[in-house]
Amino acid sequence: MTSLPHDSLWNKLLDALYPPDVACALCGRETLLGEDRLCSDCRVSLSPSPVLSCPHGLDGITAAYRYSGGARNGVRALKYQNQVRLAPFFADAITLPADWQIDCVVPVPLHPLKQWLRSYNQSDYIARELCKRYGMRQQNNLLRRTRFTRSQTTLNGFERAKNVSHAFLASPDARGQNILLVDDVTTTHSTLLACAMALRRAGAVRVYAACATAAMHDADKE
């Protein structure tokens, strides 16, 4: 009854009845999926990020989706529910402008304690996928988060900037490099700007940012 052949036959039967790719890539619901492996609800809820105006302190900024609907669910699942399989989904949707000159890619770091608690950095996974697609080099050791900052979600723009300013420290190896920062969600860009400031202080030349999603201040709640 418990012999291996029987078990494997049983598993094959289960796979046939219940294939592993029946769940929507974003919400995990088991329903009829399109070729993009999304359910129709998630597909219609995805909206591309509006063109972001580049803040002073960055040399360019782009985001794939607006932080709402399925994209918001997806980022939250990637961040808090170990759904690292979603990193390729978001990386596929990020288009880097052809005129960006990038020497290396740096994911926005978590504080080491937070990374230890969460066991991974979601932005690191997105950065890895982007590097594969564009043939870029990733260098996580260029930037460290030195302060354990409180979650940005309940703070306004000014408070966010204050919360993360001086939270990052860049390595002298950043000198002379054009760097692409990668993050999962940007709202006021305060985290990206604090990273860029630290990198420039260490001698980085250009600092760009690519994000999986962009939240519109009041409309898209984190």
- Point out which residues bind Zn ion (CB under 5 A): 24, 26-27, 39, 42
- Bridge-based pairing of strands 168-170 and 143-145 is antiparallel
Residue 7 or 30: the one with the smaller Cβ distance to Zn ion is: 30
**How far apart are alpha carbons 28 and 191 in whole angstroms?**
30
- CB of residue 66 vs Zn ion: minimum separation in angstroms? 16
Decide whether 26 or 71 has the Cβ nearer to Zn ion: 26
Least distance (Å) between residue 85 CB and Zn ion: 14
Q: Are 67 and 222 in contact (CB under 8 A)?
A: yes
Query: Cβ closer to Zn ion: 39 or 182?
Result: 39
Q: How far is the CB of 153 from Zn ion (least distance, A)?
A: 23
CB of 65 to Zn ion, least distance (A): 14
* Pick 63 or 86: Cβ nearer Zn ion: 86
**Side chain identity, residue 34:** G
Which residue's entry shows tokens 């604090």? 194
Which of 136, 127, 208, 141 lies closest to 173, judged by CA?
A: 141
Return the exposure string of 10-21: e unless at least 16 CB atoms fall within 10 Å of the residue's CB, then b: eeeeeeeeeeee
